[in-house]
Structure 1
Amino acid sequence: MSDLTTLSRRSFILMSVALAACKPGENILKITGLTMGTTYNVVAVDKSGSVTEAEAKKRIDAALALVNQQMSNWDPTSEISRFNAKTGTESVSVSSDLATVMQAAESVNVASEGRFDTTMGALIDLWGFGANGETRMPEAAEIAEAKARSGHAATLKVGASSLQKKQGDAQVYLSAIGKGFGADQVGRALETLGMTDYMVEIGGDLYASGKNADGLPWQIGIEKPAALSGGVMGVIGVSGLGLASSGDYRNYFEKDGQRYSHLIDPATGRPITHKTASATVLAENAMLADAWATAMLILGRERGLEIAEEQNLAVLFVERDEDAADLQFKSVASGRFNALTS
C-alpha cells in the first residue's frame, strides 16, 4: 500500500523487547502488520487476560486506516490529497486530527527556524527523492523556482480547525510526522481496550507506555548510522514517551565526491552537507518526536543542540568522526536527553 512515508527519512530504531513469562491471568500480545508503506509492531501487556490478538489487531488496523484516510499523500481521496488538489486560496475546514497534526507541524516549523517543513514536496521531487524519482543535480534556477513554492509561512495558514493556501500551488506532505501520529493513535486504541503497558512502532517511530513484561521501561536500541555495518550504539529505557530517529545514511547519492542526502534544507533548497549522521528525539508523543527528529538532523549538531537546550528538548546527535582512520561515530546529547535516559 502506498502512503505517507515514501518521501520520509529512514528511521533506524531497533527494538529490544525481552519478554518474561506471563504472570497468572496476563496475556502478552504481539501484533504486526503493514501500514504507510512500512511495517508496524505492537507489544502489549494485557493484565486482564481478556483481550485477544484478533480484537486488538482490529482496533489497531481501524485506527491506522483512519490516519491514512486523513493524511495519506498517495491516496487521492484522502483529506490531505483533496486539499492539495484545490487551486484556490479559500479557507478549508479540516478534521480535528488533521488540524492537530498541522498545528504541531507549524509549531515545530517555527521553533526549528523553518527546518521542519511539510511543504517541501517540490524540492524533494526536484532532487529525485520523491516517489519513483531519479536523483540528479538540478540547476540553480530550478531550485529557486521550487523553493518559491515551498515554505510554511509563505504558502500556508493553519487555523484551529482549518487550513488555507496562500499560494494556489502549495502542496502539503505529511511523511515526516504521519507515522508518529499513527503510533500515538494506535496507543489510544489500545487504551480503549484497557491496556496501558504497550509499545507501538511504525517504521522506526514509536510510542512506549508503562512497563514491559519484565516490569521495566521498554528497552529500545539505537542503531549506529552505518548503511553496511549497522550495530547498536546503546539501549535506553522508554516509558510514557515517543521516540524517533532520523538518519542520512540510507537514502542519498554521490556526485564528484560529494554526498547528497535526501534531507533537503528548506533554507537553501539543497541537501544537507554537515557531518551529523543521525538525530534521535524523545518527546511527549511520537508525533512530535517524528517531526523534531527530522528538524534536528537538518539543523545539524551545532545549531540543533543550541535549539534543543533553548527548547528543553531531548535529543541525541551522532556525528561522523572525520579524524578517525576508519568509519567511526561520536555522540552528543542534550541535557534533557541525558536526564531522561540516566
Structure 2
Amino acid sequence: MIKLKVVIIGFMLIFLAGCFPSSDLSKQEMLLQGSTMGTTYNIKVVIENNTVDTKKIHLGIDALLVQLNQEMSTYIADSELSRFNKSTSLAPIKISVGLQRVIKEAIRLGDLSEGTLDVTVGPLVNLWGFGPEYQPDIVPSDEALLLARQRIGLSKLVLIGNKLSKKTPSLYVDLSTIAKGYGVDLVAEYLEEKGINNYLIEIGGEMRLKGFKHTGELWHVAIEKPIQDASGEQRSVYQVIIPKNNAVATSGDYRNYHEANGKRFSHIIDPESGKPINHKLVSVTVIHSSSMTADGLSTAMMVMGEAKAIAFAEKNGIAAYIIAKTEHGFVEQSTVKFMQYLK
C-alpha cells in the first residue's frame, strides 16, 4: 500500500514562520536528496560552523537505505524478505535486526488494530493489481479472492526473538505500509548519532522532524487537500500543522487507485473483506514520536473508515486528523491529542 505525500512547507509550497527568525549566521541549512524504495527522499539538516561533513553524511544515509531495501523490499528478488516469502519451509529462520524491528512493530499494531493492519495481506494487494507486477485492469473473481484470503492472516506469522517463521507455506509478507516510516526513523537515529539534532526528514511522504530551522523557526508541515487529480497539478494546502519533535504520516486513497469496468478501486485493501476500501474517509494523518508507528497507524485507520478510526484513535490516545468526503464537501475531525499541533 503506497502512502500519500504530506506537503512540506519550504520544499514544495510557501514559507511559513513559526517564531522570530534568528540572526545567528553560524548555522546553515543543507538539503540532501536522493531515491529509495521506489520513491524519493528530501532531508534538511542544520549544521553549525561547518562542523559536519555533509557529503559523508549523505553517503551514510544512502548506505542505510540500500541496506533497508535489501532487507525488506518485495521488489528485489533476492532481498531478505523476498527469500522468506518464496520459502515454503515452516522452520524458524534468523533475521536481521532491522527486519526484526519492523515485523515486531507490524505485529503489535496488527494486534492493536484487531487485524485492520495486516502485513500478510500481500496476496490480495497483488491480486487487485497493486503489487510488484502492476496490473491496473484487474478485477478478481470471487473464487480467486477466496483462495487469496485463505493465505493471509497475521496469526500465521510468528516472531520469537530474532527467529521468524510461518504457519502456512504460502504466507507472503508485504511491509510497504510501515517500511518507509522505519526508513525515516533509521535516518533520524543516524543523524542524531552524528550530532545533528535539527532536521526534517521526508521519504515518500513519511516524515520526522526535530528542533528548528537555521533561522530559529519551528518546522511547519502542510496536509494537502485530498483532490482526486492523478496529475498532481491541483495540489493545495488544506491544513498547516507544527509537529515539533515528532513524525508525521498521512494515508489516503484519492491519488493511488485504478479503474476497471467503470468502477474506481482504491489501492488500500481491507483484510476482512479482501476488497479495496469503499467508504467516505479520504485521508488520515497521524503524529507520533516514531515514523514507523505513525505510518502503520495511519494505514490501519484508513481501512477502518471515519467513525471507527476516530473512536480507535481516541481510545488509544493517538494524535490523528481525518478528512472525509461528503455531498457538501470535505469534513475534518481531529482527536484531542492532535489539537496541540494545529497552527
Q: Same fold (TM over 0.5)?
A: yes
Match of 1:274 in 2: 279
State the shift of 1:22 in Å. Answer: 7.3
How far does the alpha carbon of each residue in 1:25-75 deviate from its partner, in whole angstroms, 9 at most, with x for none?
222111111111110000011124212331221121121122112111122
Instruction: Give the count of matched residue pairs.
Output: 330
Correspondent of 1:305 among 296, 306, 310: 310
| 1:41 alignment partner AA | N
State the shift of 1:257 in Å. Answer: 5.8
Match of 1:160 in 2: 161
Match of 1:15 in 2: 8
Contact kept in structure 1, 2:219 and 2:242, CA below 8 Å? yes
Contact kept in structure 1, 2:205 and 2:250, CA below 8 Å? yes
Q: Does 1:133 align with 2:135?
A: yes
Give the match's secondary structure for 2:214: coil
Which deviates more from structure 2 when the two are superposed, residues 118-127 or residues 210-219?
210-219
Which deviates more from structure 2 when the two are superposed, residues 238-247 or residues 193-202?
238-247
How far does the alpha carbon of each residue in 1:232-252 deviate from its partner, in whole angstroms, 9 at most, with x for none?
111111222111101111122
State the shift of 1:283 in Å. Answer: 1.1
How far does the alpha carbon of each residue in 1:64-119 deviate from its partner, in whole angstroms, 9 at most, with x for none?
12211211112222211121121111111111221111110011111112111111
Match of 1:283 in 2: 288
| 2:320 alignment partner AA | V
Alpha-carbon distance change, 171 to 22 in structure 1, aligned in 2, over 3 angstroms: farther
Match of 1:110 in 2: 111
Match of 1:207 in 2: 208
Identity between Structure 1 and Structure 2 (%):
34
CA distance in 1, matches of 2:54, 2:178: 27
Q: Does 1:239 align with 2:232?
A: no
Give the match's secondary structure for 2:227: coil
Match of 1:318 in 2: 323
Give the match's secondary structure for 1:146: helix
Give the match's secondary structure for 1:218: coil
CA distance in 2, matches of 1:16, 1:290: 20
| 2:95 alignment partner AA | V
How high is the TM-score relative to the length of structure 2? 0.91
State the shift of 1:258 in Å. Answer: 4.3
CA distance in 2, matches of 1:174, 1:264: 14
Match of 2:150 in 1: 148
**Aligned-pair Cα RMSD in Å:** 1.7
State the shift of 1:14 in Å. Answer: 0.4
Contact kept in structure 2, 1:12 and 1:247, CA below 8 Å? no
CA distance in 2, matches of 1:191, 1:147: 42
CA distance in 1, matches of 2:49, 2:159: 42
Match of 1:222 in 2: 223
Give unpaired runs (5+ residues) of structure 2: none
Give unpaired runs (5+ residues) of structure 1: 1-7
State the shift of 1:123 in Å. Answer: 0.5
CA distance in 2, matches of 1:39, 1:157: 32
CA distance in 1, matches of 2:85, 2:264: 32
CA distance in 1, matches of 2:70, 2:265: 33
CA distance in 2, matches of 1:210, 1:21: 14
State the shift of 1:253 in Å. Answer: 3.0
Which deviates more from structure 2 when the two are superposed, residues 196-205 or residues 48-57?
48-57
Which deviates more from structure 2 when the two are superposed, residues 142-151 or residues 124-133?
124-133
Alpha-carbon distance change, 88 to 22 in structure 1, aligned in 2, over 3 angstroms: farther
How high is the TM-score relative to the length of structure 1? 0.92
CA distance in 2, matches of 1:128, 1:106: 25
CA distance in 1, matches of 2:263, 2:315: 32
CA distance in 1, matches of 2:37, 2:260: 31
CA distance in 1, matches of 2:24, 2:34: 26
Match of 1:253 in 2: 258
CA distance in 2, matches of 1:24, 1:255: 56
CA distance in 2, matches of 1:239, 1:226: 27
Q: Does 1:74 align with 2:69?
A: no
CA distance in 2, matches of 1:97, 1:120: 21
CA distance in 2, matches of 1:217, 1:25: 18
State the shift of 1:160 in Å. Answer: 2.4
Match of 2:40 in 1: 39
Contact kept in structure 2, 1:22 and 1:213, CA below 8 Å? no
Alpha-carbon distance change, 46 to 308 in structure 1, aligned in 2, over 3 angstroms: same
Give the match's secondary structure for 2:297: helix
State the shift of 1:161 in Å. Answer: 1.4
Match of 2:187 in 1: 186
Give the match's secondary structure for 1:164: strand
How far does the alpha carbon of each residue in 1:113-148 deviate from its partner, in whole angstroms, 9 at most, with x for none?
211111111111111122222332211111111011
